[in-house]
Amino acid sequence: MDETTVKLSVPLSEEVIDLSSLDQQAQRHYAKPMLLFKLDHKGIRDPVIRHLQNGLSAALSETPDFASTVAPVPGSTRKELHLRINPESGASWRVVDYTNEQHKDAWPFGSFDELAARNFPFTDIPAERLVNPVFLNIPDDVRELPSLGIQLSLIDGGIVMAFCWHHTVSDARGANVLLSSWARHTRASILHGKPDDPVTPEEETRERWRLNYGTANARIAQVPDYVVDAGARSPLSAGSMHLLDREDPTQAPFNISTWYFSAEALQSLRDALGGAADSGALFTPVEAACALLWKHVSRARLLDAGGDATSLFTTRLEFRARLRPPLSGDYIGNICEPNARARMPLSEVCSVATGTSLATLASAIRTATEAVDDSTVRNYIGLINSLAAVTDLTWDYNGFPGPDFGVTDLSGLDVLRTDWGPSLGAPVCLRLAYREGGLLYLFPIDRQGGLEAQVLCEPEAADRLKADDGLTQYATLRG
C-alpha cells in the first residue's frame, strides 16, 4: 500500500478561495465515481502508476481548487464554507495492490475480466475496498476536509480509480475538467517521460463571484418544489461545523439494475417518439431515454395512479451556457441548481407505453429543461442570499420510495471517450461507490455512442422491468 499527498507541480502561495452562493448551497458530501481501466499492470511499482501520479500533479496546477481544503468561514453565522490553499496543498493519494499476497484475501471479487463478464457489479463490493477510508469514516469533530482523494485499486488485469471530491468545490462538469487535464498530462508523461507544462487557468474559469448575485426580494414561491427548512439538511454531527450533510439512506428495500442503450437503439427510440410538437425536431437521446425509463419504471413499481396523484420528474442540469453572459465551459464550481422539474399526473405517466404517450413525457421533460434560464438561477441565488443559513433551502421531493423520479444525468461528460495514453487507453466504464436518493443515473456516453443507465427500484419492480418488452426493445440488461 502506498499513501501520500500529490502536490501541485507549480506550488501556489497561501490563498483563500471564496465560494459562490450556489457552491454554498450545494449538497455537502463526497461524490465517489470510479473509472475502470483494463491493464496488465506489474503491481504498485508499475511505471504507469508514477505517470498517473505525475499527471495528477500537473493537472492540479491547472485546477488548483481541487487541491484545497474545505473549511468554515471564520465568524460566519450562516454555515458558510470556503477553500484554503497553500504551498503544501494537494490531493490525497492511495494505491492498494490487491494482487499482492498481503492484500489478496481482501479482494474475493474476481479479476478484471471476471468482473467484466458480470458487467462490473460494483454495487455488490463494499466501498471500503475501493475508497480511502478517510473519506468514508469522517470524525464527528472534524474542522476541515480535503477537497480531493484518489485511490487506485490494482486487481488482476486492471485498475479501479476512485475519484472522490467534496461537492462544495464543484459539480461533475467541473470535475470532468480536472479529469480531462489529468488524462492529457498522464498521456504526455507516458509518451515523453514527463507531463507537459501546466497551463495557467483562464481567470474566467474561477469567477465564482458571478454566482453571488441574485434577484432582490426573491421568495420561495419563485422556486417551486423547493422548501425552506432549517432542519432538512442536518450536518454530520452537532459539532461538525456542517462540512458534510448527514447521510440519510433509504430504509426501503431496493435493487440496482444497469441497462445499456446502444447508439442504434437510442436512434430507434427517438424515431419511435417522433418530433416534438412545437418544432418537429426529434427528441434528444437523453429526453427519449428519460421518458422511456420514467414511464416503464413507474409502471413496474405499480404506483397508485388514482385521484390527483402526480409524479415529479427532476433532473440536474449544468447551466454554464444558459447564463447571461455565459460561463466558460471549463468553469470550476457548482451550477446545477435549481433542478429542472416537470410534474405529470401519475395516470399519464403509468399509461400504456406508446410512441405518443412517451412523446408526451419527453415533451414535458424538454419544456422543463428549457425553462431553466438565467432568471431562474438568479431567483434561486436571491433566495439563498436571503436565508438565515445557506443550507436552509432544499428539495421538496417525494423521492424513492415515493412516486417522484429523480435523474442525475452524466451523459454529457466525455470521460469515457478520453485517452489516457498507451497502456491505459480510455476507461472501460464508470461506476459509483455510493448511492444518492433518486431513481436513475445516466452514465457518460461511450466511444460507440451508447450509454448506460442505472435504475434504483424495489426488487419486485426490477423483476418486472426485466420482463418488460417495451423496455428491453431498446435497452439491454447488463446486471
What are the C-alpha distances in Å from 66 to residues 6, 7, 434?
A: 11, 11, 20
What average pLDDT does this structure show over 295-324? Answer: 94
Strand partners, 453: 259, 442
What average pLDDT does this structure show over 274-281? Answer: 82
Residue tagged active-site, from 167, 185, 242, 296: 167
Strand partners, 92: 5, 149
20-79: pLDDT as tens digits: 999 999 999 999 999 999 999 988 999 999 999 999 999 999 999 999 999 999 999 999
Query: For position 438, what pLDDT does the model report?
Result: 65
Catalytic residue check, 167: yes
Looking at the fold, whether 90 and 144 belong to one and the same domain comes out as yes
Residues near 173 by beta carbon (within 8 Å), at least 6 away in sequence: 318, 320, 329, 331, 335, 336, 412, 413
Inside any domain, residue 192: yes
Inside any domain, residue 239: no
Inside any domain, residue 260: yes
Looking at the fold, whether 43 and 185 belong to one and the same domain comes out as yes
Query: For position 67, what pLDDT does the model report?
Result: 98
Looking at the fold, whether 310 and 456 belong to one and the same domain comes out as yes
**Count of CB atoms situated within 10 Å of the CB of 436:** 16
Q: What is the pTM of this model?
A: 0.96
Residue with cell 422539474: 341
230-249: pLDDT as tens digits: 988 989 877 778 999 988 77
Nearest to 114 by CA among 157, 73, 152: 157
What average pLDDT does this structure show over 160-182? Answer: 97
Q: Which domain holds residue 58?
A: 2-210
What average pLDDT does this structure show over 300-313? Answer: 94
Nearest to 335 by CA among 222, 171, 225, 213: 171
CA angle in degrees (0–180, nearest 5) for 347-350-351: 80
**Count of CB atoms situated within 10 Å of the CB of 360:** 19
Q: Which of 177, 210, 243 is the last residue of a domain?
A: 210
How many structural domains is the chain composed of?
2
Strand partners, 151: 94, 162
Inside any domain, residue 174: yes
- When pLDDT is cut at 50, 70 and 90, the band that residue 203 belongs to is confident
Q: Which of 155, 187, 210 is the last residue of a domain?
A: 210
79-129: pLDDT as tens digits: 999 999 999 999 999 999 999 988 888 999 999 999 999 999 988 899 999
Q: What percent of the chain has pLDDT over 70?
A: 99
Rounded CA-CA distance 236/308 in Å is 37
Inside any domain, residue 191: yes
Query: For position 479, what pLDDT does the model report?
Result: 85
Looking at the fold, whether 206 and 260 belong to one and the same domain comes out as no
Q: How many CA atoms lie within 13 A of 228 on its CB side?
A: 15
Is residue 223 packed enough to be buried (19+ CB in 10 Å), middle (13-18) or exposed (0-12)?
buried
397-411: pLDDT as tens digits: 999 999 999 999 999
Inside any domain, residue 217: no
